[in-house]
Structure 1
Amino acid sequence: MALFDLLGRSWAMGVIWNLNRGPCTFRELQTRCNMVSLTTLNSRLKELTEAYLIERCLEGYQLTSSGEELFSLLSPLGKWSGKWAEKF
């Protein structure tokens, strides 16, 4: 339940989804996340880092191996949700 609580927070899955495209700086990640507020992005980065899903790197932030594994599990759900959304 702790993981679902974390992933249910504003922009948590968006950060993971966008970091799957590769490492990026804070500003680039903010742009990728449609200009999420600085406060929200800072909070999610802190929480996801503490959960060992993302980490700091020379390029800014990147997924850890656990974060990459989590993305691989979420990716089929993303594909399914796209099909589901087309019905509406």
Structure 2
Amino acid sequence: MKKPGLPSRGSTTGRPIMVLLDVLGQRWTLRILWELTQGPATFRELQKRCDGISPTLVNRRLAQFRDLGFVAKGKQGYELTQLGQELSEQFISLESWANRWAEEWAQEMPEA
């Protein structure tokens, strides 16, 4: 399991930022977390929101997120914890930056 302080891809020291980037770089991680920013979801609803990804993979990611403190299981299904919500706020900032970057990049590209 990936945790701060333990070696991860790109870091033998387990620096928290490197562990976080390793976790976020795993297949379907960002999509599942992004979908949970829309509100709580049951397992099946979350699987549907993610275009029907494998239940094994959803289960694996949810277990990892729960272990890392990003997600909890509540009355309405899986939901972001306070820590998970704070992380999702960073996604929104990153999305704004990415949109601005894409616009600037498109303006600088010569027409084909």
In the superposition, the TM-score normalised over structure 1's length comes to 0.89
Structure 1's unaligned 5+ residue stretches are none
TM-aligned CA distance change 1:83 to 1:36, over 3 Å: farther
SS at match of 1:34: coil
RMSD, matched Cα: 1.6
Q: Where in structure 2 are there 5+ consecutive unaligned residues?
A: 1-17
Higher relative contact order (CA 8 A, sep 6+): 1
Residue aligning to 2:89: 72
CA contact (8 A) 1:12 1:44 kept: yes
Q: Secondary structure at the match of 2:69?
A: coil
Greater Rg by CA: 2
Using the TM superposition, give the Cα deviation of residue 9 of structure 1 relative to its aligned residue in structure 2, in angstroms: 0.7
Percent identical residues: 40
Higher helix fraction (1 or 2): 1
Q: So what's the TM-score if we normalise by structure 2?
A: 0.72
Aligned residue in 2 for 1:51: 68
CA distance in 1, matches of 2:54, 2:101: 29
Report the Cα distance in structure 2 between the residues aligned to 1:83 and 1:40, rounded to whole angstroms.
32
Partner of 1:63: 80
